[in-house]
Structure 1
Amino acid sequence: MKLFDWLRRPPPPPEILLPQWQAVLDLPLFAGLNRDDAWRLCVLGERFLSRKQWVGTEGLLVTDAMRRLLALTASLPILNLNEDSFDDWRGVILYPAPFVVRDARPEMLSVTQWGGVGVVHEEDQIQLGQARGDGPILLSWPDAERASQQLDGFNVILHEIAHKLDMLNGVADGFPPLHRGMQRLRWTEVWQANYRLMRWQARMGQLPHWLDAYACSSPAECFAVLSETFFELPFAVATDYPALYQQLVLFYRQDPRARLMGPHRAESTA
């Protein structure tokens, strides 16, 4: 059998596929998924498992359970997007703790994006995760595992996946490739206005308690932070930044708030 031949075959039916992933599906992040969505997510997870190279550093042993958790979480943002969204990069590198990288980070971006100036700082930084262009995703495994246990708006896996989606048009700048029917001008207006609001709130000490101030560091980080929070704390985002929430609904083509309010609960996947 040639490598990836199984991807051209129909995926296993739900009664076979879902039990293999049930331990992950039972996590809070996936609450409210109906049976069909859970099955499609597991198909994407299987695809992710097969197409990525998995590397543990500093003696970290990468187990099947770890891979399943990471694969399913990483696949949630693309549940209703192009299944090829992750095909331009191959690897997931896991560290046993936060790691140090030399990072060139823009303070803000060009005036053509969100009204900033091109100031770049380069320094060694301790990271929980990093997405590298067309290269791998780097993750601190303890922090990735912790993120799966609670919905607090901090999920390093979702954060780095948002960066990867942002990079599909070349660079992480808070302006990912939009779908047909989405308005570029509206996207820019909403994100620019909310980014400025967040920076003002941060200066005044008035940021919502659930929002990581890291969102104010650059448009790219604003998109990534709000994306992870969109999936973990959708009611908070929709309440405090309703126009921004609606843009995220349009971009990800799913509405976590509606899912959690709907009639289907996690037990419907059993």
Structure 2
Amino acid sequence: MKTAKAQRRLFLRGALGALGTVVISGCDRLSEAGWFQHVLSTGEGLSRVAHRALVPPHAMAQEFGEADLSPHFRSNGTSNPEDAQYQTLAANGFKDWKLTVDGLVEHPLQLSLADLRAMPKRTQITRHDCVEGWSAIGKWTGVPLGRVLEMARPRPNVRYAVFHCADPMDGPGSAAYYESIDMEDAFHPQTILAYALNDQALPVANGAPLRLRVERQLGYKHAKYLNRIELVVSLDGIRGGKGGYWEDGYGYQWYAGI
């Protein structure tokens, strides 16, 4: 895993590149300055507004054919969570695993893997684009997130879905991964809770038993090892308030639209 300084350098290189700037000397000092982080935050907001204005709400990410599948869909970040409860569930084939859907909902849910597999499914072949510069094409099968949320009946003021995961990011006992998207992306037809990759049960290295696929955003938004979806009106009370592990800790943009 990269150091915080390396992550800031990577983020700044992408942000400055988007502005057509090739000079990145002193980026570490800039990234630690409050005023510069405010500039980047403002730019992110403008980028999100522009992206949403130009791309229709239900525009689809490109889908591919079987011949385009990558020979190997690499694992990135955590490949086997160092969490005792997760390891127990995995050893039993996730038969006792449940997905919790709660927060601002009228009907909280507890769904087993069998429950999810029994629901209407969607299969899509899409490209995963990582912020580190690599990409891979995989065939994903799962339940449309919107279908699950409809069952939970979100309250009218809900704005975000927060995904809580099983993978501790800094070793056993540390805080687990988390991410969030807004309700527009949550109900997009290509946003699914995937339990299969390339017609096989989702491997542990790729997020078993369940991961998010939000195809119009970069890879770090595709949370793995899901165990809870929390619906909220604001991200302010979620950890550092910026909506995700990389956003809170390393300055990544919350909206990673592509």
Give TM-score, length-normalised by structure 1. 0.28
1 or 2, which has the higher strand percentage?
Answer: 2
1 or 2, which has the higher helix percentage?
Answer: 1
